[in-house]
Structure 1
């Protein structure tokens, strides 16, 4: 007897349904529903509230935190003229973290119930509903969970005085990333560079989700060989 395939009911809260898809989850989550109205995640109104974040919350929360870290390096004796270099280095490090997180964590393949459920909450929901404006940036609590191990790694690799400025730069890089990400989905760029970046990112969503992991820049896609090409797209469609 062949087991009946699980079918997600889009009219009901999704989070505790998607785990039942098993091995079919990866294919399901990469078939986007292009609608500005987001789905309901939870039956609970309280839980539902915590899944929605407006884009402007990100700079309001994280720019002051980044500024505090950067000022801490000055208080610890780093000359003020050295601070911009450390911050710029932190922003550069963020571009690498952005790529690695997107490629290896956000696009991890899952098949178990809880694996699918957690992946959907982390990133799968964005691929399924890419125009859901209130689930496009990371809620601050979720971002803090990811930031904590990054801060500990920075402390391990940098001196006590330079670590805060470098981490502050990483946080500023994150703010630029999340705001850029929102703009690439909902903005209407007029100049060539943002137009190209928008096309590059939407290609990741609608054509080749296994390529083009850079959001703010294709730099690391070029370094690691994950730049999408027309030939790859043609072979996928055949």
Structure 2
């Protein structure tokens, strides 16, 4: 149900409010509030707890799974060069998945009550409150659920002895992605590569939100033509 001229009360739990915005949701969610204190999502303390994740939980929880998965392929007889290739392939697959999810799922346009609600939970909250440090990485419970179809996908395209290392590489790519994402928002890079990557990502948040979908790199934005123009290039036209 959409309420005409609905206004979100930022002092109340947001998740079940945003759906009422209807078609106005897209404009509202892309007007960021730059504040390190995140909003409350749910009145229920348990559900609210599940939405908050410290960044270091990602490597602590998932790196052991990465190493265990890779070790399974080692025990099946694969040597270091083969393992390295499998892991690199998994990371490469993740970069494409990262881009695809960000572009086609995280930025899907919604206007229904439940569509807006689901989008806000999935990614809209991050664009509305981009500096919320406890909602920058994916909650471990949600990641665990998504690992199941990812494992089945890898299993479908590879042989049994390769599947664990390829899966481990993809999961390592995810860990790199989430840690990089947190750093781009809260880190202060001193060298050119991370500094440019931070600028590139913040450009997606604050200037051109329908381009620049890569997080760990801009490679797929270049391949698929979603690389945003620089300010200098726009002035020259």
Using the size of structure 1 for normalisation, the TM-score is: 0.94
Equivalent residue, structure 1, for 2:211: 211
Q: Secondary structure at the match of 2:161?
A: coil
Equivalent residue, structure 1, for 2:139: 139
Q: Secondary structure at the match of 1:221?
A: helix
Matches within 5 A, 1:78-117: 78-117=78-117
Change (3 A) 1:232 1:161: farther
Equivalent residue, structure 2, for 1:6: 6
Separation in 2, partners of 1:145, 1:108: 21
Say what the alpha-carbon RMSD is for the aligned residues. 1.6
Q: Secondary structure at the match of 2:89?
A: helix
Give a deviation string over 1:108-131, Cα, whole Å, max 9, x none: 111111111111111100000000
Equivalent residue, structure 1, for 2:160: 160
Change (3 A) 1:159 1:232: farther
Q: Secondary structure at the match of 1:34?
A: coil
The alpha-carbon deviation at position 90 of structure 1 amounts to 0.6
Give a deviation string over 1:78-110, Cα, whole Å, max 9, x none: 223311111011111111111001101111111
Change (3 A) 1:132 1:233: farther
The alpha-carbon deviation at position 233 of structure 1 amounts to 9.6
Change (3 A) 1:186 1:233: farther
Q: Secondary structure at the match of 1:83?
A: helix
Q: Secondary structure at the match of 1:82?
A: helix
Equivalent residue, structure 1, for 2:126: 126
The alpha-carbon deviation at position 231 of structure 1 amounts to 6.6
Separation in 2, partners of 1:232, 1:187: 26
The answer to whether the 8 Å contact 2:4/2:21 transfers is no
The answer to whether the 8 Å contact 1:33/1:129 transfers is yes
Matches within 5 A, 1:19-98: 19-98=19-98
Q: Secondary structure at the match of 1:15?
A: coil
The answer to whether the 8 Å contact 1:66/1:169 transfers is yes
Would you identify which runs of 4 or more consecutive aligned residues in structure 1 move more than 3 Å?
230-235
The answer to whether the 8 Å contact 1:177/1:216 transfers is yes
The alpha-carbon deviation at position 44 of structure 1 amounts to 1.0
The answer to whether the 8 Å contact 2:18/2:117 transfers is yes
Q: Secondary structure at the match of 1:7?
A: coil
Using the size of structure 2 for normalisation, the TM-score is: 0.95
The answer to whether the 8 Å contact 1:208/1:233 transfers is no
Aligned residues: 233
Give a deviation string over 1:49-82, Cα, whole Å, max 9, x none: 1110000000001100111111111122222331
